[in-house]
Amino acid sequence: MAPALLLLRLLALIATAREACAARAFAAASNATAHGATVVAGKLNVHLVPHSHDDVGWLKTVDQYYVGSNNSIQGACVMNTLDSVVDALARDPARKFVVVEQAFFQRWWAEKIPNIQAVVRKLVDSGQLEFINGGWCMHDEAAVHYIDMIDQTTLGHRMIKKQFNKTPRAGWQIDPFGHSAVQAYLLGAELGFDSLHFARIDYQDKEKRKAGKGLEVIWRGSRTFGSSSQIFTNVFPVDYSPPDGFGFEVLDENILPVQDDMLMFDYNVEERVNDFVVAAIEQANFTRTNHIMWTMGDDFSYQYAESWFRNMDKLIYHVNKDGRVHALYSTPSIYTDAKHFSNISWPVKYDDDFPYADSKNSYWTGYYTSRPTFKRYVRVLSGYYLAARQIEFLVGRSFLGMFTTSLEDPMAIAQHHDAVSGTAKQHTTDDYSKRLALGASKVEKGVNVALTCLLSSNGTCAPSVQKFSQCPLLNISYCPSTEETVSGAKNLVVVVYNPLGRERSDFIQIPVSA
């Protein structure tokens, strides 16, 4: 072997070894590997991020979306998406996919046999399947309370840590109708995310930022905490769909597959590559560095994942063979690492992305107050849930167990950007309310027993003559326990619990019989 060729091979081996030892999944390699697994220096790198945005209830209920029922409203089945994606990823180690909503994933995971779970763990460990956001849902940012945002995110992260020993790195709030600086602070400084990605900002703001290459910013959610509160934030140039012509959902009537079989009359590789390069260069004009992201997915897509991956495989191969730009499978974490290693400065942002308008006179502000009864119900149960957890802790879980878990899932689902926001269909909102009511009734029983334990003379949970009941319908001045005459009863004992860490003065209003 010629010395020059031997030297090149040794250099390639050294580069591969360094890449394998890197702490991050990203490595700035100078040559492409199969399907574009690494970036190429000096070229425009197009990061293809396969994803599916699965609303935790919207036009259909969360159950209907998961199992694929009521498809006359919307053809969507998240169970099929997860099954199909895992199969497609297992076929090729270069492929990648990001999973967001744990409300769906955890249902799916609980149904899988150990062999399938082992395959999924392998995909997660290899970086092919990455959890981003990691919350139970993609929560709203305007009508929610910050404690509820934290709770629903914690619930999802706790499950991911328990099952996979992983901690999500990237925020993926691609569909909420505007964004708050509090969210940037909570995800960055408090949660530890190193990036945040979304699509919806005011159309005028977006055009101005595109002109100044300011779509990607350092967002400091707190002026007080300064750089300790900041997070790298990536705003998509259009929305969270692929560029026109590059969506590959199998039943999409506008799908334009990559046909690379020269024996077929509709061979279109040159055309498809040219379209890809034109779209990539156009987007590159809006960003800094030679890295851009294509969000390869849409609402409830990848129900037949092979349709997407087969076409992306072909695009990556033929685009990289063409050589004008470089394409690769990627994730938000890999993309953020690439931006970080570019070592350039970014604009700094402090304020909210509210109000959000997607066109002239089209402001998404009505949801701030729509469905006020449901908004109140969520907020009241949020406070009750917090108080119940305190009582559960004071009693000790060894006595009663974790009786508040029945509200975890309903409360987390209610933070979804089509739930507490009030933008879901009526039958879906009714479903949210039913879940909350059922969960609250179970927690109420646990609280009643816990109060008996706390107020007993010996501090135990032994059966007692004291029987506690609550008044969840005080908003309509109705409480059977205080209004109905009990035979032989002369006194009414009221127990009031203050969940705050300070003294407070308030009025307690309880209806009684005249």
- Express each pLDDT in 497-514 by its tens digit: 888 889 999 888 888 876
For the record, the structure tokens of 129 come out as: 């399947």
Q: Please check whether residue 88 is in contact with residue 82, taking contact to mean a CB–CB distance below 8 angstroms.
A: no
For residue 463, what pLDDT band results from cuts at 50, 70 and 90? low
357-368: per-residue pLDDT in tens? Answer: 999 999 999 999
**Taking 50 as the threshold, does the pLDDT of residue 105 lie above it?**
yes
Q: Is the peptide bond before 355 cis (omega within 30 degrees of 0)?
A: yes
Please state the rounded mean pLDDT for residues 337-355.
93
Sole residue written with tokens 């990559």: 258
**Taking 80 as the threshold, does the pLDDT of residue 456 lie above it?**
no
Phi and psi (nearest 5°) for 289?
A: 75, 175
Extents of the domains making up the chain: 43-362, 369-468
**Taking 80 as the threshold, does the pLDDT of residue 22 lie above it?**
no
Q: Please, what is the Cα angle at 511 between 507 and 512, to 5 degrees?
A: 125
Give the Cα separation of 196 and 235 in Å (integer): 9
Task: State the average pLDDT for the chain.
Answer: 89
Give the Cα separation of 237 and 174 in Å (integer): 12
For residue 32, what pLDDT band results from cuts at 50, 70 and 90? very low
Q: What is the CA radius of gyration of the chain?
A: 27
Give the Cα separation of 389 and 130 in Å (integer): 31
Mean pLDDT is lowest, of 7-21, 41-55, 68-82, 295-309, for 7-21
**Taking 90 as the threshold, does the pLDDT of residue 489 lie above it?**
no
Q: What is the pLDDT of residue 490?
A: 62
For residue 224, what pLDDT band results from cuts at 50, 70 and 90? confident
For residue 4, what pLDDT band results from cuts at 50, 70 and 90? very low
Q: What CATH number matches the domain at 43-362, 3.40.1280.10, 3.20.110.10, 3.60.70.12, 3.40.50.720?
A: 3.20.110.10
For residue 67, how far is the Cα from the chain centroid?
20
Q: What is the pLDDT of residue 231?
A: 94
**Taking 70 as the threshold, does the pLDDT of residue 293 lie above it?**
yes
Taking the model in full, what pTM does it have? 0.88
- As a dihedral over the C-alpha atoms of residue 9, residue 13, residue 15, residue 17, rounded to 10 degrees, the angle is 180
Q: What is the pLDDT of residue 223?
A: 83
For residue 169, what pLDDT band results from cuts at 50, 70 and 90? very high
Alpha helices in 175-268 (DSSP H): 181-185, 203-211
For the record, the structure tokens of 350 come out as: 């402090």
Mean pLDDT is lowest, of 151-155, 185-189, 211-215, 418-422, for 185-189
Give the Cα separation of 232 and 200 in Å (integer): 16
Contacts for 346 with CB less than 8 Å, ≥ 6 apart: 216, 217, 218, 232, 288
Q: Top-level CATH class of 369-468?
A: mainly alpha
Phi and psi (nearest 5°) for 238?
A: -120, -90
Q: What is the pLDDT of residue 185?
A: 86
